[in-house]
A and B are shown apart, each in its own frame.
Chain A
Amino acid sequence: QVQLQESGPGLVKPSQTLSLTCTVSGASISSGPYYWSWIRQPAGKGLEWIGHIYTSGNANYNPSLKSRVTILRDTSKNQFSLMLTSVTAADTAVFYCARISYSYGYMDVWGKGTTVTVSS
């Protein structure tokens, strides 16, 4: 059974960098074909795809966030990570990691989500 678990600070100061890690169990992020993704959801609002990293290590990002986002992977720990720089209050959200099917583009396995608040 594939499981994903987000971890990282719940509070980040404005202008700083938000860093989260997703730990994957039950599957290898090096074998596919899957994308490993980050999605966020501000309180009471909809879902926004942030970006994903493929089994090859190539990453794609939402153009609206591309200048501030980096997604990396650590295959030795079976983890992938999100870094979002220069955060503001508008970046406050629940952040989810999820697995995306390469063939169909659906997100079939999700983490439970972690809330990140940007505040001084």
Chain B
Amino acid sequence: EIVLTQSPGTLSLSPGERANFSCRASQSVYSRYLAWYQQKPGQAPRLLIYAATSRATGIPDRFSGSGFETDFTLTISSLEPEDSAVYYCQQFGDSPPYTFGQGTKLEI
């Protein structure tokens, strides 16, 4: 099983600042199969980034993804108040289970 470890657990920042979320995999993940999600309280997760670097439809360009193999990063370049949420990374490797990180909570 591929374990995804996200850090930090909580990020407290101000509007306009830059946020970096880390996702480290216990073994190499093909970039094609690494995604990021945003989840607000009481809502389903929302796809932000897929294939490590590609923005999903309708996602603002202040969201970007980078990384490869075992180290991946989600960046929000200039925070907006509505970006407060929990952010998850997810991998879809060669075999199940297809796992999520434990999440990073962003407080603005």
Seen from chain A, the residues whose Cβ lies within 8 Å of a Cβ on chain B are 46-49, 51, 60-64, 96, 98, 100-101, 103-108, 110-113
**CB atoms of B44 and A101 under 8 A apart:** no
Contact of A46 among B33, B51, B103 (CB under 8 A): B103
Q: Which of B48-68 contact A (CB under 8 A)?
A: 50-51, 56
**CB atoms of A104 and B47 under 8 A apart:** no
**Could you tell me the distance between the alpha carbons of A48 and B103 in the complex, rounded to whole angstroms?**
12
Asked whether B37 is an interface residue with its Cβ less than 8 Å from the other chain, the reply is yes
Interface residues on B, range: 20 to 34
Seen from chain B, the residues whose Cβ lies within 8 Å of a Cβ on chain A are 1, 32-33, 35, 37, 43-47, 50-51, 56, 88, 90-92, 96-103
Specify which chain A residues have a CB less than 8 angstroms from the CB of B92 in the assembled complex: 100, 104-106
CB distance from A105 to the nearest CB of B (A): 2
Specify which chain B residues have a CB less than 8 angstroms from the CB of A103 in the assembled complex: 32
Q: A64-B97, A105-B35, A110-B45 are in contact. Are A47 and B88 (CB under 8 A)?
A: yes
Specify which chain A residues have a CB less than 8 angstroms from the CB of B51 in the assembled complex: 104, 106
**Could you tell me the distance between the alpha carbons of A89 and B10 in the complex, rounded to whole angstroms?**
28
Contact of B47 among A60, A61, A107 (CB under 8 A): A107
Specify which chain B residues have a CB less than 8 angstroms from the CB of A61 in the assembled complex: 96
Question: 4 closest Cβ contacts across the A-B interface?
Answer: A105-B92, A110-B44, A106-B50, A106-B35
Specify which chain A residues have a CB less than 8 angstroms from the CB of B35 in the assembled complex: 104-107
Q: Which residue of A lies closest to B35 (CB)?
A: A106
